[in-house]
Amino acid sequence: MSDQVQQPVSQVADDEIDLRELFTALWQGKWLIIVTTFLFSVASVFYALSLPDIYKSEVTLAPVSEDSGLKIPGQLGGLAALAGVNLGGMGGGDKTGLALEILKSRDFIGRFIEQNDLYLPIMAAEGWSRSENKLLLNPKIYNEQTQQWVRKVNVPFQPKPSTLETIEEFKKLFSVSQDKTSGMVKLSIEHYSPLLAKSWADSLVKAINEEMRTRELVEAERSIAYLNQQIAQTNLADVRTMLFSLIEEQTKTLMLANVRDEYVFKTVDPAVVAEKKTKPKRALIVILAFMLGSLLSMMFVLVRYFSDKK
């Protein structure tokens, strides 16, 4: 019985000795811990201050959905599908999913970059001067005096960035997502310049609406042409009536596409010029560096203490 009592007592004593020994080791290496932590903290302050401010501009969009009340029998519904006619109950209506995929596609982003000539602000910018309202360009990438790209790259890359390179960099600044519950779409742009971030967000919304509107116009015009051919080839009154109904529906699509600018996304909360930076989180960087310096120095002190002890 006395042996059973003595065993847990001695275990507690060993634990106390181990903790005491740990504190002793840390105390002996306190100056190394203090100096290392201080150096990490100072380095993190300089690093955090060297990072340029990045601003974020965000726009909230509501999908514009259309529900057609036209019901088509199965046989003629196949004809409508063949003609490319999108009607209620036929898989048309909500075009949000398609618009979002197009918005994130390389083809759409590439055309957006080329049309707005965004190579410099995406690939060469390294900051923004608020006082001068001017982008700061990296001289190692672009020479402002000669107006030439001077970056050093390996083959097959060229000094002037390719569209594909610029697309990949743009995707790091660009974000779009849809809330599954409300259906609302959030589109955001991050950049050194809050003015450019706001301008690009507005331009992207306009561009995707125009893209979808143009696609619908082309599709509706082709559908009407096809339906007119079918009308000329049939004498059945019921079929002709249905074909005229399909043409009427496509004419409605043409009308809406021609008169409505916000064709697929309606702006609920427009983008604004940000007054406060989004990142970097300088205080967080310093805190994490302080913790990392403390942890690494304590681990080093303990490892050295127990290695010398052996």
Each domain of the chain, given as residue ranges in start order, spans 2-49+283-309, 52-279
Task: Please give the model's pTM, rounded to 2 decimal places.
Answer: 0.74
Collapse the DSSP code of 190 into the 3-class scheme (helix H, G, I; strand E, B; otherwise coil) and give the result: strand
Name the DSSP class of 160: S
CB 87 within 8 A of CB 68: yes
Q: Which token pair is 79?
A: 């004809």
CB 175 within 8 A of CB 111: no
Per-residue pLDDT of the chain (310 residues; tens, 9 = 90+): 445 545 554 554 454 547 787 888 888 888 988 999 999 999 999 998 888 999 999 999 998 876 544 444 444 444 444 444 444 433 344 688 889 999 999 999 999 999 999 999 999 999 998 888 889 999 999 998 999 999 998 888 899 999 999 999 999 999 999 988 888 999 999 999 999 999 999 999 999 999 988 888 888 888 888 888 877 877 777 777 887 788 777 777 777 777 777 888 999 999 999 888 888 888 999 999 999 999 998 898 888 887 877 6
Tell which residue, 138, 91, 145, has the closest CA to residue 119.
138
Q: Which token pair is 103?
A: 């918005």
CB 262 within 8 A of CB 209: yes
CB 130 within 8 A of CB 239: no
Q: Please count the other Cβ atoms lying within 10 Å of the Cβ belonging to residue 140.
A: 11
Q: Which CATH architecture has domain 52-279?
A: 2-Layer Sandwich (3.30)
Entry field: residues in the chain: 310
Q: How far is Cα 43 from Cα 50, in angstroms, rounded to an integer?
A: 11
What distance separates the 2 farthest-apart alpha carbons in the chain? 110
